[in-house]
Amino acid sequence: MKITDLKCAIIGNHPVVRIATDEGIDGIGAGESSKPYIKWHVLYYKDMILGEDPRDVERVMKRIRRRGAFKPWGTAVSAIEVALWDIAGKAAGQPIYRLLGGKVRDKVRVYNGNIRQKLKSYSPEDMAANMKWMKDLPHNFSIIKQGIAFHGDMATDTPDFYYGENVESYNYPNRGRMTERGLKHTIACVEAMKEVLGDEVGLALDVGPGVIPQDALKLAKALEHVNLMWMEDMITGDYTPYVLAELYRDVSINTTTPIHTGEQIYLRQNFMDLIEKRAVDVIGPDPLDVGGIAELKWIAEYADLYGIGMAPHGTLDGLIGTAALVQVSATLPQNYIAFELPNAEFEWWHDIIEGLPPKDQMVKDSHIDVCDTPGLGISFNDEAKKYLKEEDADFFTD
């Protein structure tokens, strides 16, 4: 079997990858919906993989892996890797999880960091009401994550939250020391949310990046009494192209609040410091940024040796990313906690993807059943063609 073509189409805003072969078996992968600009990067790799056997996933990946980087530049490599595993599974007549060593679990836990209503304000009362709405969702989530401080608009919308100048730009890295008022406000909001959840639902927090290490420790210690699932990306993370493991370790060893990071990191080598120095308690690589699903599995197994938990990121990965996360999460060791459930960027995604349960039946009691269909277990139907741009009209043809 040989790769005969690599294509990328922007469907909705997702850069969707399709790899074709000379035996008529194709594979799909995708990047996050926030990255339609990555199409050129996917196609950059085309000449590097044509003629290769897609079932030799690692051999193909060695041709392109070194030309990726931290988020967002690991996306193209990761999407191609997922498509290769899709082909390998279809060719073998097996779900991907079986090619990765088999299932550890028949259903995988997911958490909610993505299905939410817009906050009316960053007051304790409105954040508690928002949390109540999420708690009452039919998914019956056992873990819910909320953004506070420098993740989202709390730091910029709350007067005198920190010592620094706010820059009104989505991509600008606002950062600074929190004021006493800002610290107390954050603690009050977290306590209000946890009061709603009680001990029935775990609360995780997305906090930065932007919190300085001293404030990260101060906040983590001040919230020890609410028994958080974790505090995520406080110092670095998201689109930060470095790790700073020593700063995280200074925080994590001095608090019982679990500390989490990792969504921006590309490849196992860049997790070494976090894991070997036990700088955090939980890591959260995204399969569509870290280099793919096999890369995520390797990292999870290595982290397990050091007693570090695994809660993969996935908020913008869409339905293709959901299928990939289910397959790899089924195989992870017992340090697996839950993955962040993606949702469809547009409702019509549920009309063009076959193989997933109906939207209202996908998540049951915070879990998704692992399917046994070959490959990713999903495929596009004919309805998908009407969502192709004119320039991508031949995406589904060989």
pLDDT of 79-114, one tens digit each? 999 999 999 999 999 999 999 999 999 999 999 999
> In this structure, how many other beta carbons lie within 10 angstroms of the beta carbon of residue 262?
29
* Rounded Cα distance, 177 and 175, in Å: 7
Q: What are phi and psi of 146, to 5 degrees?
A: -130, 145
What is residue 144's predicted lDDT score, i.e. its pLDDT? 98
Q: Does an H or E element contain 323, and which?
A: helix 318-329
By the 8 A CB rule, do 253 and 277 touch? no
Residue 44's identity, in one-letter code, is Y
Q: Residue 330 to residues 57, 60, 291, 367: CA-CA distances in angstroms? A: 19, 24, 18, 11
Q: Residue 106 to residues 369, 375, 394: CA-CA distances in angstroms? A: 6, 16, 37
Diameter of the chain by CA atoms? 65
What is residue 145's predicted lDDT score, i.e. its pLDDT? 98
| 3-state class (DSSP) for residue 92 | helix
Opening angle at CA 312, ends 20 and 238, nearest 5? 95
What is residue 171's predicted lDDT score, i.e. its pLDDT? 83
What is residue 169's predicted lDDT score, i.e. its pLDDT? 83
Closest CA to 228 of 266, 186, 277, 265: 186
- Tally the residues of the chain: 398
Q: Residue 269, class by beta-carbon neighbours within 10 Å (0-12 exposed, 13-18 middle, 19+ buried)?
A: exposed
Structural domains in the chain plus CATH codes: 3-93+381-392 (3.30.390.10), 99-379 (3.20.20.120)
By the 8 A CB rule, do 273 and 324 touch? no
Q: What are phi and psi of 5, to 5 degrees?
A: -160, 150
What is residue 170's predicted lDDT score, i.e. its pLDDT? 78
Residue-wise pLDDT for 345-391, tens only, equals 999 999 999 999 999 999 999 999 999 999 999 999 999 999 999 99
How high does pLDDT run on average in the chain? Answer: 97
pTM: 0.97
Q: Residue 246, class by beta-carbon neighbours within 10 Å (0-12 exposed, 13-18 middle, 19+ buried)?
A: exposed
Query: From the CA atom positions of the chain, what is the Rg in Å?
Result: 21
What is residue 346's predicted lDDT score, i.e. its pLDDT? 96
* Rounded Cα distance, 228 and 257, in Å: 6
Q: Is the peptide bond before 374 cis (omega within 30 degrees of 0)?
A: no
189-211 mean pLDDT: 98
Question: How many Cα atoms within 13 Å fall on the side-chain side of residue 213?
Answer: 12
Strand partners, 195: none
